[in-house]
Amino acid sequence: MSIVEKLADWSPWVPFEDALAAASLLPGVYMAREGSDGPVVYVGMAGERPGGGRPKGLRGRLGVYVTGKGLVSGLGEAVMDRALADAGWLRQRLAEVEAGSPMRAKEWGRSAFARAGLQLRWAVTADRATAVALERRIQAVLARSGLWNRSMPVVFGGAEEAEP
């Protein structure tokens, strides 16, 4: 059992499109991997949201990605960056535009997630602070594994650069 496996009580891996229905409304940490047996590529967290109302936790965070609305933060940005670096994916989008049926931005986001073929799993935590600590610990353990998180080195087309 790996160090990451021992750090929390993880849900089973589920395809990205099924994650929203299964995710908890409680705070926690989620991981994304490529395909059914690929490497972990992203580690994120979801805490309580200020302002009262119904708790959204992990389900709320993943919902932002599933709907295509999370293109400029976290996992959504990482997935979109990779889609935009894929000439074939861009050619498909351009063909749609040239055919007179361009997609809206959130549809581009959903298409980028479909292209990525991710699976997700998560662990519920007691609160936001615990989720932040667990996220940081897992990122530290996986720091050299090529995570897509902004704080990790990014590789596009063979060139590596550190994200700010």
Position 49 scores a pLDDT of 64
Q: What does the mean pLDDT of the chain come to?
A: 87
* Residue-range domain boundaries for the chain: 3-150
How does pLDDT run across 109-127, given as a tens digit for each residue? Answer: 999 999 999 999 999 999 9
Amino acid letter, residue 21: A
For the stretch 110-146, what's the b/e string if a residue is b when 16 or more beta carbons lie within 10 angstroms of its beta carbon?
bbbbebbebbbbbbbbeebebbeebbebbbeebeeee
Question: Mean pLDDT highest for which of 17-26, 64-73, 147-156?
Answer: 17-26
